[in-house]
Amino acid sequence: MISVLTIAGSDSCGGAGIQADIKTISMLGAHPLTAVTAITAQNSMGIVKIHDIPAEIVSLQISTIAEDLFPGAVKIGMLHTGPIVREVAGAIKKHKLGRVVVDPVLKASSGGQLLEDSAVALLKDTLFPLAVVVTPNLYEAGRLTGSEVVNLGDMERAARQIKDLGPDVVIKGGHLEADCIDVLFDGKEIHFFRGTKIETINTHGSGCVFSASLATFLAMDYDIVEATRLAHDFTREAIANSYPCGHGPGAVHPGHKRDSGRQ
């Protein structure tokens, strides 16, 4: 069975983070491997506290897994601190892990900061060159490029700019005012993945589901364009089947029955 390693934080509410990754990877028929970077105390209304796992323990989780089995792909989510960014980059290089998907998680949908400001440049300098693709949303693309990203033209510009750092780029357009359009730049062409907006407030975990499914499809040997299309469609299905969970925005549902596209 194909395995996919997710390196991310734990969401105590169960809708996002490593919990969403595990559900996604499992639903697509792969085996989830995990390295937990932080424990959050949160619910649907927001994050109350973040407890960082010591950076050397994060690295040890990755190394211990890699010494026993080699993941088909790696998804990297919430890292929170500079030392954790540095240790994760070191472990990726040490064990020559490939098909790395970096979701540059900077803040929660509820507003909580998930990567320290001082670590953003380190993320770009140390992890982006090791990744095959990065998956920022509009806000994250703006932070990474230093220019606001609010429309399709901005997304194309930002994708080309981020590509200069090495990896292919998928900018997620779920927060566009009209249709939802994800934009992929593979260094040669701009590709658009379009879908009508799904009217729901229950979108908690959508970014995690997208990056985890993208990593899983890459592990299945799909090329970047087809993997992005499949991840786009899978995430839309998870949003369409979302459900209320608590008093705030509810969770997307990557665990609903579907055909992953490969038997």
Q: Could you give the C-alpha distances from 2 to 31, 221, 235, in angstroms and in order?
A: 6, 10, 20
Distances (CA, A) of 16 to 9, 132, 252: 9, 23, 9
Residues 197-210 have a mean pLDDT of 91
CB 149 within 8 A of CB 155: yes
The pLDDT of residue 255 is: 77
Q: Is 247 part of any domain? A: no
CATH number of domain containing 97: 3.40.1190.20
Q: What is the pLDDT of residues 11-20, one digit of tens each?
A: 999 999 999 9
Residue 252 is assigned to a structural domain of this protein: no
Within-domain flag for 104? yes
* CA neighbor of 7 nearest in space, from 127, 118, 107: 127
pLDDT score, position 259: 46
* Phi and psi, residue 168, nearest 5°: -65, 160
Domain assignment of residue 177, yes or no:
yes
Pick 168 or 261 by higher pLDDT: 168
| Cross-strand pairs, 137 | 172
In a domain, 54, yes or no: yes
Q: How far is CA 111 from CA 26, 105, 115, 160, 245, in A?
A: 29, 12, 12, 27, 18
Q: What is the number of structural domains in the chain?
A: 1
Q: Using one digit for the tens of pLDDT, what is the confidence trace for 72-129?
A: 999 999 999 999 999 999 999 999 999 999 999 998 776 678 999 999 999 999 999 9
pLDDT at res. 258? 53
For 242-256, what is the mean pLDDT? 89
Within a domain: residue 254? Answer: no
Those residues whose C-beta lies under 8 Å from the C-beta of residue 167, and which sit 6 or more positions away, are 102, 128, 129, 131, 132, 133, 134
**What's the CA dihedral at 153, 169, 123, 119 to 10 degrees?**
30
Residues 6+ apart with CB under 8 A from 232: 182, 193, 195, 210
Domain that holds residue 228: 3-240
pLDDT score, position 263: 35
Grade residue 260 by pLDDT with cuts at 50, 70 and 90: very low
What integer best gives the mean pLDDT of the chain? 93
Q: How many residues does the chain have?
A: 263
Q: pTM score, two decimals?
A: 0.94
Least confident piece of the model among 21-35, 62-76, 162-176: 162-176
